[in-house]
Amino acid sequence: MAHKAEVQILNPPSDVISSVKFSPKTNQFLLVSSWDTTVRLYDVVNNTLRHKFFHTSPVLDCAFLDSVKTVSGGLDNTVKLYDLNTHIEHNLGTHDAAVKCVEYASMVNGILTGSWDRTVKLWDGREKECVGTYEQSAGKVYSLSCIEERLVVATSDRKVLIWDLRHMSNYIERRESSLKYQTRTVRCFPNKEGYVMSSIEGRVALEYFNPSPEWQKKKFAFKCHRAKQNDIEHIYPVNAISFHNVYHTFATGGSDGFVNIWDGFNKKRLCQFHMYDSSISSLCFSDDGSALAIACSYMDEAETPPEPYPEPTLYVRYVSEQETRPK
């Protein structure tokens, strides 16, 4: 059956969409968290809302543990497990402040949560208990990403901490962000060589883990999600990054309402999609790279809100090889 190139998902959340995540190994199911206090599961193929469950406050992130279990966290400081088959929810535990990010770490079969309380916690999903709390060098956790044993944590004081999940007694390295302004998001390369991070100032940096001078020479940053109008440059936050697992290219989404696809290793932009309804708040490629989920949410960037006030919207774009493969 031929897909439309892009599908708008029905029944989106009623407030800012904080996170979109495809189910492992399929592009059929999409998990979506929102400031409207819900976590939703969509069947993208049939364009239906399959499940909806609630936190007591806005939800800032969500993730799949496997195809039927999810984890989510937000402004209620609570880490919540939910089983999509049995509809049983379980409060795994809490942080002392909002839970900003959640991720499943398959290598240690654990759940990582990062919080504004300046810690990352590791949870055992089976035993349903916290197995470690790790101070993040006095910074609130704004974003985290893991690939196998590597964990990268970006904090509010523009620091980046690199950890090894097998030896969490201390971080391996603490770096200053190479971006001058507040970090929005960080994502590890699928090949484990480094990470990409973005800031509120229309800029993205590629960094490498290997400390040797020849590897460190490869790192670079570039401007994006900017627009010139009447000789004035408008600079927008880059809110979202998602890697294509097959080609190792990546998508960025900005408050300019655009999604770009980049070939970071060859320093090229591969394509830009059409302008979306409002700021891009979250992006996620499916495991096989065939689909890209795109969340649009107005995030109070303007001094006066636009009229009419933009409603959150959700799209799934079936990307072509031409859009995502390095040239």
- pLDDT tens for 248-260 read 999 999 999 999 9
In angstroms, the CA 229 to CA 233 distance is: 6
Burial 14-50 (b: 16+ CB within 10 A, else e): ebbbbbbbbbeeebebbbbbbbbbbbbbbebeeeeee
Q: What are phi and psi of 128, to 5 degrees?
A: 55, 55
DSSP state of 14: S
Range from 83-87, 269-273, 306-310 carrying the lowest mean pLDDT: 306-310
Residue 305 pLDDT grade (very low, low, confident, very high; cuts 50, 70, 90): confident
Reported as a pLDDT band with limits 50, 70 and 90, residue 1 is: very low
The yes-or-no verdict on residue 57 having pLDDT over 60 is: yes
Of 187, 194, 71, which is closest to residue 122 (Cα–Cα)? 71
Q: Looking at residues 227-243, what average pLDDT do you find?
A: 94
pLDDT > 60? residue 53: yes
**71 vs 303, residue with greater confidence:** 71
Q: Minimal CA–CA distance to 110: which of 94, 96, 131?
A: 131
User: Which pairing describes strands 38-43 and 29-34: parallel, antiparallel, or unpaired?
Assistant: antiparallel
**Model confidence at 223: pLDDT above 80:** yes
CATH for 6-323 is 2.130.10.10
Task: For residues 41-58, give the mean pLDDT.
Answer: 97
For the chain, the domains span 6-323
Give CA–CA dist 205/186, Å, rounded. 9
Q: What is the pLDDT of residues 264-299, one digit of tens each?
A: 989 999 999 999 999 999 999 999 999 999 999 998
Which pairing describes strands 89-94 and 99-105: parallel, antiparallel, or unpaired? unpaired
